[in-house]
Structure 1
Amino acid sequence: MQAKTVLSVLFIIFGISFQSCKRNNPILPGSDLDVPKMEEILNGKDQNLINLLNRVRGSVGRRGSGSKTIWSRKNDYGLGLYISANHVYNITGWNSRNAHFFNLSSENPGIFETSQIPPVNGSIALGHTLIADFPFIHFNISTGATNTTLLPAEDFYIGIIDNQRAEQSPLANYPELVKTPVPLQMYDPDNRTKATPTWNIAVAGEKVIAVGYPQDNANYPNGAVAYGKILSDTEATQTIQKLKIAGDTEGDIPYNSSTEFLIDAQAIAGMSGGGVFNADGQLLGIMVRASDKENAPKIIRAVKIAHIKSTMIEFYNSLPETDKSRIRPFISGEL
């Protein structure tokens, strides 16, 4: 897609002043514009913003051509319960579109390739270390949906991260079955993933940051940070109408206040699955879609953690006790 020239604007976020970078294209494929690089924020002068970013950035990593966010380590094993977008996984990779879980005690859907989280020591460089990634639960996906037409209400799945690590190699490398004896070691200086609660409800008008890993690894080797305000339901509905008039694809997707929220911010391809956090560092949702057209409103669509959690619990409650016992140890802290 062609670059879009947009004036920099001044945001007041969390009581902190900082300059935004140029506008850019959507989370889905294609972008050649900038949002702030992780290192630009961390090397800046706004200590409150730096502290917030340090609080949350260890929770966000790479997953294939997109991102993933560790929601919680509050389970029987202290492993990482993460969320990513179905279109990042590629929905054709699921054996069925019906909700499904893997029995991680006996099934091994794990991968190393393209799976990374920040180092335990807090370095912003991911380096060449891969971490085991186990897709765990996906939920019902509409029959006609594709990776580019998935609605936010269905564009998420849950996975598990343990401590198995491997160095990048030209040869395929796969982990063993999930290792449960040792809790996940990760950069989480304030134990955000163990807090009560680990997440919160998105509030209209709230200023947020969104962290992810763009596909443009050459320019964003250490991730990117978007920031903006959560739109009210009225503002979101009006913005969707403006997007429709502008001919943006997002204008064809009605706003669903029960499953998503909109942020007046921009993202880059590959940030899908990245987390959206409030000023207290609580996880509010994950990024899944964004506007595209030049001269159209710039928005990010995020799936609410509240919706993800309720969907997970509804699925869990629908299972027979034998299956519940296979899932429960991994999600116990968020039931």
Structure 2
Amino acid sequence: MENQTNVNEFILVGLSNYPELQFFLFLVFLVIYLITLVGNMIIMLVIRADPHLHTPMYFFLSHLSFVDICYSSAIVPKMLVNFLAKHKTISVNGCLAQMFFILLSAGTEVFVLSAMAYDRYAAICHPLHYVGTMNKRVSRQLVGGSWIMGLLYSLVNTVPVLKLHFCGPNEIRHFSCELPPLLQLSCNGTFINKIALLSSAVIFGFSSFLFTLVSYIHIISTILRIRSTEGRRKAFSTCSSHLIVVVLLFVTALSQYMKSSSVASLFLDELFSIQYSILTPMLNPIIYSLKNKDVKTALTRILGKIQVSHAM
């Protein structure tokens, strides 16, 4: 159904309360975005170039890096434009498109992280069956399923918005077209939208979180049963980077959606959103580069080859 509205554009008022800081914020988020792009691209290129990293774990990591680029690119470029623009507007269709890609990226990232948790569970808890369990076909199916689930999550929440009527006001109290602040501007009922948002959060988000949590309960239990300290250290090192990324994403996302309405504020909403949608995609490649010996070794090996080729 075509979205009929008296509003032709929305105003994104987030992070605009301090006019004197707009150029400074532009520089800060530009640097964050460039680090996100370069860091995740390096991870993807290193994994593709080094045969030692052609394993399920790094196959998932390369797709996580791609999702992080998509996630950040759905939000930050428009933010950068608005920092320098006098009128911080976005068209209705542009806003709906941005919301669709934000939901798609967020949903897909959650499920890719769950697939990575299952990979670590299979590797640590059932090492003798790992090669058969996590073959190329299964890895591709898990990644494909992650994108399908992300698409379903996005469609479930985007399609009902097309039926809403926006007649003013048109100020979105956020720096991007996220669903909750957009629903506040609707001139007709949003009951179906709120039900869709709550149901999808439980079905997609909580189920993924629960799956990841159960996987790590088994992983930690298995690691604690290893007798040697060195063995426990090596086992934990294979999943420590992923665990840090999971904690960063889920803690901030859950804090955002489970906080009491009494502590709700524009500042807290934006702070949590910046953490899980902008900072986390930047931090992921840094965490995997610093905490993962294989990635550091592969990067050193590739840089060495480049230096040798230039010297010849």
Q: TM-score range by the shorter chain?
A: under 0.3
**TM-score after normalising by structure 2:** 0.27
Higher helix share: 2
Write 1 or 2 for the structure with the bigger share of strand: 1
Higher RCO, 1 vs 2 (CA within 8 Å, ≥6 residues apart) = 2
